[in-house]
Amino acid sequence: MKKILLLILAALATIGHADACTSMIVSARASASGRPLLWKHRDTGADNNFLQRVEPANGCYGYVGLFNAGDSLLQEAWMGMNDAGFAIMNTASYNLAPDTTDYVDREAFVMSEALRHCASVDEFEVLLAQLPKPLGVQANFGVIDAHGGAAYFETSDHAWTRFDANDEPSGVLIRTNYSFSGVEGQGSGYIRYQTAYRLSAQAISTGQVTPMLLTETLSRSFYHSLLGEDFLNNGARYVVDADFIPRPISTASIVVEGVNKPSDAPRIEMWAALGYPPCAPVHHVTLTNIPAELRATSQWRSIACDDAAQLRRTAIPTIGSNSVEYIDLEKLRPIIERMHQRSMATYSTHRP
């Protein structure tokens, strides 16, 4: 009989912030393809999201955005790429200056504005300066462009601090749910930050980071950096779902693979797994083609998220605890392997 391992952490006394996320920016020189990468493993209280094309209008750029289920007006993009080769995402930050008003949770509105109006990292900074204050955000905004730009903007109501990936010796930046410019020791996601770094350290050191590393390794991993244990591969059956990159509220893992010059902007693309990432296959998305299962249905939900949710219920059963969730790794392992094989077939078909 395989051993039953119950990982009990003090952190489980409070489940933590609902809107979280793990993310990475990879400059062109650190990417195996020589193209910049923007990755977001999304954690949110919204149980379903979809990808949709917003056509250009009134002099604005068209874009592909990630929207919460029910957003029929396509007003709040939580990640996206536009016709100018610009892309943006965010992670919530919990150690920046506190909100000074009741005007909060405006991150997706800021990103929608950026996708409509920005062609570069510098233009996004101009947008932050021009938008009315308070901004209503506490976030690490990650952006890449077709001019070689790649940066995080650690942003609160009235200010931001810019961190350029090209200034990093490795060419790579990682953010979870705290900001380097924020209050030291506060925020959350410190364990996930270390996990993301350790799982990608070899690829970062050799300049060989790929979308596959992000979707197939990081977003499907149950390695715990604090404990130094890989529970997916150590024979454990049950494990408490805490402080892994995939979280109970994970609903997407998306990599935008950018371009290096404006004339190549139409070649910007996404590698998108919608739904609980360990149970979701990757799909190839372009500015003009979004697979049907990722787009909104008449109920403004995605089939991909619903399919992944069904598989997730198989692997994360209710076993009598009201405060935590237990993953049945014996059931999850074959699901992960099937989704991985489907994803690799997609990468093989669409990557040179």
**Which domains can be identified in the chain, with CATH numbers?**
10-329 (3.60.60.10)
Q: What is the mean pLDDT of residues 163-190?
A: 97
As a whole-number percent, the residues of the chain with pLDDT over 90 amount to 87
Q: 16 falls in which pLDDT band (50, 70, 90)?
A: very low
Q: What is the mean pLDDT of residues 307-326?
A: 82
Q: What is the pLDDT of residue 323?
A: 63
Q: 103 falls in which pLDDT band (50, 70, 90)?
A: confident
Q: 229 falls in which pLDDT band (50, 70, 90)?
A: very high
Q: What is the mean pLDDT of residues 176-185?
A: 96
DSSP 198-252: HHHHHHHHTT-B-HHIIIIIGGG--EETTTTEEGGGS---EEE--SSSS-TTEEE
Q: What is the mean pLDDT of residues 273-290?
A: 98
Closest by CA to 336, choosing from 240, 218, 228, 242, is: 218
Q: What is the pLDDT of residue 20?
A: 83
Cβ within 8 Å of residue 156, ≥6 positions away: 96, 97, 99, 135, 137, 138
Alpha helix stretches (DSSP H) within 9-136 = 107-117, 121-130
**131, 111 in Cβ contact below 8 A?**
no
Q: 1 falls in which pLDDT band (50, 70, 90)?
A: very low
Cα 60 from Cα 118, distance rounded (Å): 9
Q: Among 10-24, 93-107, 121-135, 168-182, which is the least confidently predicted range?
A: 10-24
Q: 142 falls in which pLDDT band (50, 70, 90)?
A: very high
